[in-house]
Structure 1
């Protein structure tokens, strides 16, 4: 089976981040043989005074492959880890979906998109989870994190939202790489012109001129680039990528 797992609201200002906890859960599942698992993606949700969050209001999601009989084990491992490491004062939520390619997950995807632009409630999340037969659980505090956890699963299924956590963290800046060289990074599968939305040829040279990120786009890990005034391609700063939001949508 293919499964999606997302967590939200596990941290406080002094603790390890939700992304790190998601990676710990991912690594633990792989150790138990419940894999392979994808990289973790960060999904930005709505910033509003009525929504409590630590710093960015983002959820962390990954997907994996495992025999269907181990779904409950996967949920237990994730739940126990959240219970053990979630920070004091946080409101953690966990969502796990057993993916069925014969089903339509439009409601789950729509919930995720709505969470990027509006204030949703725990009741909204529970109703959506019940209708779509998802695991959704609270793990402390108010349990408000179930909203973001469900939203993250919806956005990951949608396939064109979210940054790849720690992507290109160690790449040298102010250097030129061919597209084929960049594709050797596990967090990068395509390099795409932001304006034309066309993939670039493997021989195309890219100037890594700043700290940048890959994003989830059409279910691939994509580095978006733009043409500079000299006609050569260059990367987009991470800060600018975070501002683009909806422009990553299909």
Structure 2
């Protein structure tokens, strides 16, 4: 079965990283032989003085394919992992969705988008999770992380939100590389300009300092921009809306 797993608020300014925790859950699936997982995406939520968050108020989500008999054991293990490893003072939340069991999909997607622009409550999160048939649970502190975890699921399912966690290694900053090489050497599906032009495999681009990819149309996309007659990989400022 295909599942989506999202977590939020597992870290503090001094300890841990939610992206690292999400990747540990991916490794748990692989190490136990329960199935295979895909890369983690980071989903930016609303930044507001009334919302407590560590640094960026973002949740982490990944897809996996696991055996149906392993679902309950995974959820139990994931909950235990969050309880034992999350930073002191954090408010971790866990959400797990089985794709074929999701109900009221539009409500789930709407919750994800609202979390980017509105202050939402735990009560709204639990109500939405129940309506949509998702597992949602809190594992320490106030449990406010359930809001971001549920939102992360909805946003990942859209296929049009989030940056993939981690950097892509293409070479040294300032070097050039062909698009075809990027596709062959990485998990990038497509290299595309910020205005929508898909680059051909023989075109080249200048490598930036930090290479990040984004989720668009269900694909892992490397976004680039044109400057000085050459293509350049986008920087964090240009990717802030993803």
Q: Same fold (TM over 0.5)?
A: yes
Question: Alignment partner of 2:13: what SS?
Answer: coil
Q: Aligned partners of 2:179 and 2:21: how far apart in 1?
A: 32
Aligned twin of 2:199: 200
| Aligned counterpart, 1:241 | 239
| Contact map agreement 1:34 1:66 (CA 8 A) in 2 | yes
Distance in 2 (alpha carbons) for counterparts of 1:186 and 1:33 = 24
| Aligned positions of 1:1-250 closer than 5 A | 1-100=1-100, 105-169=105-169, 171-195=171-195, 197-230=196-229, 232-242=230-240, 244-245=241-242
Larger mean CA deviation between 85-94 and 176-185 belongs to 176-185
Contact 1:9 1:18 in 2 (8 A): yes
In the superposition, relative to structure 1, how do residues 45 and 212 fare at CA in structure 2: closer, same or farther (>3 Å)? same
1:239 shift after superposition: 2.7
With normalisation by structure 2, the TM-score equals 0.95
Q: How far has the Cα of 1:34 moved from its partner?
A: 2.2
Contact 2:170 2:182 in 1 (8 A): no
Structure 1: give runs of 5+ residues left out of the alignment. 246-250
* Deviation sequence 1:90-125 (CA, Å, 0-9, x none): 000000000018855111111111101110000110
Q: Distance in 1 between matches of 2:10 and 2:26?
A: 15
How far off its partner does 1:170 sit? Answer: 6.3
Structure 2: tracts of 5 or more residues without a match:
none
Q: TM-score, normalised by structure 1?
A: 0.92
Cα 1:129–1:171 shift into 2, 3 Å: farther
- Say if 1:186 and 1:32 are closer, same or farther in 2 by CA, change over 3 A: farther
The 8 Å contact of residues 8 and 60 in structure 2, kept in 1 or not, is answered as yes
CA apart distance, 1:198: 3.0
Secondary structure of 1:239's counterpart equals: coil
Aligned length: 242
**Deviation (angstroms), 1:38:** 0.4
- 1:54 and 1:170, CA in 2 relative to 1: closer, same or farther beyond 3 A? farther
More off after superposition, 93-102 vs 80-89: 93-102
CA distance in 2, matches of 1:182, 1:6: 28
In the TM superposition, what is the alpha-carbon distance from 1:184 to its structure 2 partner? 2.9
CA shift, 1:169, in A, is 4.9
> Over aligned residues, Cα RMSD in angstroms?
1.5
